[in-house]
Amino acid sequence: MAYPNEKLSEEKVFKDPVHRYVHVRDKVIWDLIGTSEFQRLRRIRQLGTTYLTFHGAEHSRFNHSLGVYEIVRRIIDDVFQDREQWNNDERLLCLCAALLHDLGHGPFSHSFEKVFHLDHEQFTQAIIMGKTEVNEVLRKVSEDFPKKVAEVIAKTYKSKLVVSLISSQIDADRMDYLQRDAYYTGVSYGHFDMERILRVMRPREDQVVIKESGMHAVEDYIMSRYQMYWQVYFHPVTRSAEVILTKILHRAKELHLDHYPFKQQPVHFYSIFEDKVSVEEYLKLDESVVLFYFQAWQEEEDKILSDLCRRFLNRKLFQYIEFNPNSQMKMWMELTQLFKKAGIDPEYYLVVDSSSDLPYDFYRPGEEEERLPIHLLIPNGELKELSRQSEIVESISGKKRTDHKLYFPQDLIDQLSSKRKVKEQIRSLLQRDKS
């Protein structure tokens, strides 16, 4: 049988806590899972620094990628297969894109991307198109298959229906991570009736739509997402660890560019510090490597670098207060001066971090980040935009919520015994706004 249609002689299953089992029958999928680029996702946590807040959140992107694949497989094989408007020739493409959609994630991606202006989506493309094992498997399907997979992930593929399975406001990616992250953290948010949502999904020319009878399950999904963002993903303690991580990378880069004599030279980071990283070098970076350096750097002479590494590894995080960028800029300036007086470098130790999320949005054509809204399929065949049918969704639709926090090391401030006045001034500024 031709490779694209080749089936394993016996179905392989992965025991999965969220979907019970992940089923693989296609040889192509099995081969992709076996590539070194895909196995590398085992060494990259799904939720970055979240494990320092929720100790259960130690699961990897490997875990999640299998889950997204399984959801897409079920949508296609159990729901779409024989329906009009669905072209089953796209099946393998969808499965591959689902499996590989996170392939370009680096260690602690959020922080790395911020500091080094990297973009994991570009790396995903590059790995799929580059000289990699993944590319080799995909090319066996057909010469232009890697490109198609890359396009689906880049959302530029011609069939919007195919794209919407992987990236939309109700895609397999979100449905997997909400449930998975809830499972591993142990929080009670993140539950919604995915079984029902899958059953009411219908293929339409340019998107997946939801039968109206499933509206309440979708509402529940959107509320779950909202809660997960604010309860888990934007948890202030997680962000404290992220702030420190970011500052470590910052410091190390700066020292490297300054030719600082590291005891443990940041060999794996050279190209990234110098802004000329290749796919090959990028693939060598995983969280083991990062943690290896952080451990070593605890013993560097540079006080800032070693202190920040110790903080990260031993979870001596920064404290925080709410921060209002409109009304408190002056306070921040004052604090910056006081920190300098106290000998605590504010660039590394006085950090504002902001998180914001838009729980659901209707369609705003032409805006920077267009989001395709969720459409309900009414029994008469019409489509209606979700927020017009659901009061709950309407009520949060288009409302971006932002949260700012100011992070600082309480312990260093408490130790300022020889600078009692500065210490008191800092404390009083930080206290005033602590609730």
Looking from the CA of 219 toward its CB, the CA atoms found within 13 Å total 15
Cβ closest to a second copy, residue 148 vs residue 174: 174
Q: Pick from 26, 102, 173, 286: which binds a second copy (CB under 8 A)?
A: 286
The residues facing 203 across adjacent strands are: 208
Nearest-angstrom CA–CA distance, 51 and 57: 5
User: Of these, 310, 340, 384, 419, which contacts a second copy (CB under 8 A)?
Assistant: 310
Q: Where in 377-406 is the site for a second copy (CB under 8 A)?
A: 378-380, 391-392, 395-396, 399, 401
Cβ neighbors of 360 (< 8 A, separation 6 or more) are: 169, 222, 373, 374, 386, 387, 393, 396, 397, 398
- Interface with a second copy by CB under 8 A: which range of 156-164, 187-195, 407-415, 417-425? 187-195
What CA–CA distance (Å, rounded) separates 214 from 218?
A: 6
Residue 291 lies near a second copy (rule: CB under 8 A): yes
| For a second copy, the closer CB: 109 or 227 | 227
* Interface segment toward a second copy; rule CB under 8 A; list 54-62, 118-126, 238-246, 421-429: 54-62
Report, in Å, the least distance between residue 399 CB and a second copy. 7
- Residues in contact with a second copy, shown as a per-residue x/- string from 61 to 90 under the rule CB under 8 A: -xx--x------------------------
Query: Taking Cα atoms as reference points, which of 395, 375, 365 lies closest to residue 168?
Result: 375
In terms of Cα–Cα distance, which of 151, 413, 119, 104 is closest to 286?
104
- DSSP helix, strand, coil percent of the chain (3-state; round to 5): 55, 10, 30
Does position 42 interact with a second copy (CB under 8 A)? The reply is yes
Q: What does DSSP say about strands 401-408 and 319-322: parallel, antiparallel, or unpaired? A: antiparallel
CB of 222 to a second copy, least distance (A): 10
To 10 degrees, the CA torsion angle through 178, 183, 187, 190? 30
In whole angstroms, what separates CA 424 from the centre of its chain?
A: 40
Site string for a second copy, 226-245 (x = CB under 8 A): xx--xx--------------
Q: Name the one range near a second copy by CB under 8 A: 9-17, 115-123, 146-154, 366-374.
A: 9-17
Q: Is 131 helix (H, G, I), strand (E, B) or coil?
A: coil
Residue 223 binds a second copy, judged by CB under 8 A:
yes
* Residue 301: both structure tokens together: 């002479």
Of 47, 41, 45, the closest CA to residue 99 belongs to 41
Least separation, in Å, of the C-beta of 147 and a second copy? 25
Alpha-carbon distance values, 344 to 268, 307, 406, 413 (Å): 29, 12, 15, 9
User: Is residue 12 at the binding interface for a second copy, with CB under 8 A as the rule?
Assistant: no
Q: Which two tokens stand for residue 10?
A: 């016996």
> Considering the rule CB under 8 A, would residue 199 count as an interface residue with a second copy?
yes
Q: What residue ranges bind a second copy (CB under 8 A)?
A: 13-18, 20-21, 34-36, 39-40, 42-43, 51, 54-56, 58-60, 62-63, 66, 183-189, 191-193, 195-196, 199, 216-217, 219-220, 223, 226-227, 230-231, 284, 286-289, 291-292, 295, 310, 313-316, 378-380, 391-392, 395-396, 399, 401, 435
